[in-house]
Chains A and B, each alone.
Chain A
């Protein structure tokens, strides 16, 4: 005696969809009404997706901008490649601050970012940190370590990791050894792992060490880091995403990147400033 048809789950998920459409539509209608009824100078909200190494700096900038204006900012950090992938899959970000040029360009090519908004906001420095090594760290000396004691950000989606990988390949290291080097999610993690003693040496960003020192979790002796400022300068580019073209908070953020106090902040956190903007 079956008195229920088996098509029920289809009906069920349709009704779920309908329910959510209704909820979100209502929210959108209310929000839309609010925004429409006000003039353009009213405060807005923007979500800033930043490369992991820039997280602390971005949060400091956000705090400053929020104090000076009525805008609200949300900083979401992650490795550059992951964030780009999320944006391609519809993540609701407004500004993308990458750790390379390639991803922002890729987004522009896909029509997800505004072409003339692209600018370099900082130039990062990569360094090989090897505390407790004898003398200044050297690339070829890494071969004496177990590959599992050497750590880089994952070159698949982290620009600092890509740069580190390129450097490792330029040294005369065994391919099998290279193969077994530890890759972690983002460049910030590398500094943390070395500081905690989970790994012996690794390729870090200058900004990670500075922020770590500020937090008190990282203690670095200058002689323990080999910097690669010329060989591996990391141009970090940012773009405005097309969904936020009319977002005043997002626009404000982008403009402020050129302002002197913000540039000072960036520099203080361990980045080199881009030469000039044209």
Chain B
């Protein structure tokens, strides 16, 4: 039981860290995708969307290769911190960021695309620099996109399994997240514990989706006579 609570806490921490880090990573990317007319755009869109269709084990496999101590990146990490990047919480965060990227980028891209160029032109004529326009015109208009992106990213990271299995291992307090804990309970025929965790996750996923649809799916329109 305490092991399971630890898994819940670890999962929440992983999801929250991933979501918080993805906001500044995905925002400029989504903005560029929303406004760019470059031919490279469709390529980047495809790359961003890959985690949607790629089997998680593929992603986990490549991450294992790229981040293990023998690789360039992993070796650098070991030199700097003494710890391996694979089978560590930090490694999971990196994996989750890649794995949940489309869930943050796509809602943001849609929200940014909905900001009319005419409004940005008007703001410019009022003396707003590009950064000013971004902070004071675009961001307030994109609030719903951020809500959707954050909720979806959080929920999606909570559900991560294949990637964690490949390069996370099952280390309590470090990489033993909820989905792995459930798997382990089933492996050891501990069905009661598995039921509890699985049902909990099911309710959580449902609640988060409901939240998204309720608050970000509709615009409240006030019609004046």
Contact = CB atoms under 8 A, between A and B. Distances in A.
A and B touching (Cβ–Cβ under 8 A): yes
Interface of A: 1-6, 8-9, 12-13, 15-17, 19-21, 23-25, 28, 47, 74, 76, 78, 86, 88-92, 185-186, 188-189, 192, 195-196, 217
Given A12-B29, A76-B171, A89-B68, A28 B81 contact: yes
B36 interface: yes
A217 B192 CA distance: 13
Nearest to A86: B169
B170 A76 contact: yes
Contacts of B86: 86, 89-91
A89 B66 CA distance: 10
B84 A92 contact: yes
A220 to B, nearest CB: 15
Pick from A20, A21, A47 the residue with the most CB of B within 10 Å: A20
B81 A9 contact: no
Chain B interface category by residue count: 35 or more
Interface in B22-70: 24-25, 28-29, 31-32, 35-36, 38, 40, 44, 64, 67-69
Contacts of B64: 89
Given A90-B84, A91-B86, A91-B87, A76 B169 contact: yes
B108 interface: no
B114 interface: no
A8 B171 CA distance: 33
Contacts of A189: 187
Interface stretch (B89-97, B142-150, B152-160, B201-209): B89-97
B112 to A, nearest CB: 11
B74 A4 contact: no
Given A9-B25, A12-B25, A13-B25, A2 B90 contact: no
Given A25-B80, A78-B170, A90-B87, A16 B94 contact: yes
B36 A6 contact: yes
